[in-house]
Structure 1
């Protein structure tokens, strides 16, 4: 039960009908206790899986969702052995607490195992075969309390140093069968977890066109922020609809859209807003290296014009890498 001495939590629960969250790194036991009093969407089970890469990999395996080959290790010696078995380069990741590139190391040779183990500083790691991908993509889907599921168009994502910089959707060169496959993967996850709300699934698309699951997030997702201006119904609105048991809105894209993350330092906001069909969403945060301060959604009639506008926007941001 919730600690009766926790007055702030008791007051919170007395004033809400349903509970949701914006970040999955929460104490699972606390969420379970809240579930004894109020509906929590997504559930504590979803948080538990998404907080732990071992559980997440096991879920992918159980549902037949392909991933990169991986090993679970509990020492530097096991890490070195896994690197030799999988073949370098490999990526070592902390089992818990890793996001935006944190808690990770790339081993270019097995002899780097001790250094990588020490730098990550966790007692258990997941070691993944390095994926020779052509692009990183993500799926955003929503499941209602009645089991209804809707899917947003797949987005292509560009990361730099583990931080998302650009997301583009919909994709002009995407084979319909690839979207259908991604839909089936995320639908399986939603149904298995009896999920309610927005779920994000990050994937790699390989050179043969196949998809490999990387990780999932039980919340509205940075790679879905393009939906705020580029889709009929944003991921935020659909999340709120889902957890309240309301009908889900259309996920159709309005136009080719690129979401540009503003990282570390803000740019010339007036000039950015002067770009045709650009939309700035600021977070009112102090500037700091690596911090997400805002995002800009840019729409265009076609992808060629979109790329031109994104390049113009990038020139107005002091630390933005060029889009590719």
Structure 2
């Protein structure tokens, strides 16, 4: 049976599912797979990776280690990824022998901002005016009037605000491009933003698509801080457009798996695509506690061919990202956050990722507040922020 044919059959509980990457997204995938009765294997070089600590098998090698990839294939009947920067070539190697979702080709598009923007354009999905800068000639050819002020982003290996610089003039642009190492970059015009939305879409090998409800996000310093669902400030038309665009982006990629597409709503109400991630997303974490099927169970279902059912939100939710900053007091001394005080509040669900080393800016966990109404969820979330010393959500 070919890998493609095998991908279209159902892998029942009892099979072993592999995940490339040992971070918190892999950990939550492992938990979801295990709850459905699957065995799991993680490939990650870190001996104390969050996912590796909870999986049945941990292959402790780098992503491109031939023996490690062979061992993962021997253990697993199907394989996914939890990290957008896993080398696409490694996923293609695995995909030649096992069902891999998402595929290496799809991930390659998501890994490169230039390819990503080109894909949005092909799909007829609006995005910010932009240009690719690969060399000095490309830098000189930039239309400053059309693209500045803007945000210069490395074409590859950027996430959580990394590899991004705001530039206001041609001189700042040239300096920023050289400071980034003169690598291929995409310059995007800065647009007047009203709010940020995201859509988590799941698509299986038969082309069936379901999505989580549209999520409204707040970022601080390029890192997601707060997600609210339902999205309080999005109109029904904007939400419907975001869902339709995300589904089209996935379909045109021939995507199998869970994909998150982030959108900007501009001051005039226009919707534009920002970027996409070929995996579950921080903004979808609320679904573990606020919906009957989480984004991680959707990842399991798309990988194994189990029935793909539209998730139903049963509770309005507010998700708060917990960064390593919380583990330090005003004097910079390590301390444990007031979990007892937070967990005394109604509807609070705490998820810590098993990371032993707290660092400023590092994602250590998240917390979701669920309630009967969106107003009640936000009220409790504000109390959580006050008790933990987080900026108000």
Q: Which stretch shifts more, 92-101 or 145-154?
A: 145-154
- Structure 1 segment 126-205 matched on structure 2, within 5 A: 126-205=186-265
Whether the 8 Å contact between 1:262 and 1:317 is mirrored in structure 2 is no
Q: Which stretch shifts more, 160-169 or 143-152?
A: 143-152
Residue among 285, 297, 308 paired with 1:248: 308
Give the TM-score normalised by the residue count of structure 1.
0.93
The answer for the alignment partner of 2:385 in structure 1 is: 314
* Post-superposition offset of 1:301: 2.2
C-alpha separation in 2, matches of 1:45 and 1:247: 24
- CA-based RMSD of the aligned residues comes to 1.7
| Structure 2: gaps (5+ residues) | 1-64, 328-336
The answer for the alignment partner of 2:373 in structure 1 is: 302
C-alpha separation in 2, matches of 1:87 and 1:44: 32
C-alpha separation in 2, matches of 1:256 and 1:97: 34
Whether the 8 Å contact between 2:263 and 2:272 is mirrored in structure 1 is yes
* Post-superposition offset of 1:50: 0.5
Whether the 8 Å contact between 1:75 and 1:117 is mirrored in structure 2 is no
C-alpha separation in 2, matches of 1:48 and 1:6: 20
Q: Which stretch shifts more, 96-105 or 183-192?
A: 183-192
Residue among 39, 57, 68 paired with 2:128: 68
CA deviation map 1:238-260 (0-9, x unaligned) = 11011110112332211210110
Runs (4 or more) in structure 1 with deviation over 6 Å come to none
CA deviation map 1:122-154 (0-9, x unaligned) = 422111110111001100111122221111111
CA deviation map 1:275-299 (0-9, x unaligned) = 1000000011121011000000001
- Structure 1 segment 259-298 matched on structure 2, within 5 A: 259-264=319-324, 265-266=326-327, 267-285=337-355, 286-298=357-369
* Post-superposition offset of 1:16: 0.7
Q: Cα–Cα, structure 1 residues 6 and 58, in superposed 2: closer, same or farther, change >3 Å? A: closer
C-alpha separation in 2, matches of 1:280 and 1:27: 32
C-alpha separation in 2, matches of 1:70 and 1:87: 7
SS of residue paired to 2:305: coil
Count of residue pairs the alignment pairs up = 318
The answer for the alignment partner of 1:44 in structure 2 is: 104
Give the TM-score normalised by the residue count of structure 2.
0.77
- Structure 1 segment 50-61 matched on structure 2, within 5 A: 50-61=110-121
C-alpha separation in 2, matches of 1:7 and 1:127: 39
C-alpha separation in 2, matches of 1:196 and 1:122: 34
Q: Cα–Cα, structure 1 residues 83 and 254, in superposed 2: closer, same or farther, change >3 Å? A: farther
Does residue 214 in structure 1 map to residue 274 in structure 2? Answer: yes
The answer for the alignment partner of 2:43 in structure 1 is: none
C-alpha separation in 1, matches of 2:233 and 2:220: 23
The answer for the alignment partner of 1:119 in structure 2 is: 179
Q: Which stretch shifts more, 32-41 or 244-253?
A: 244-253
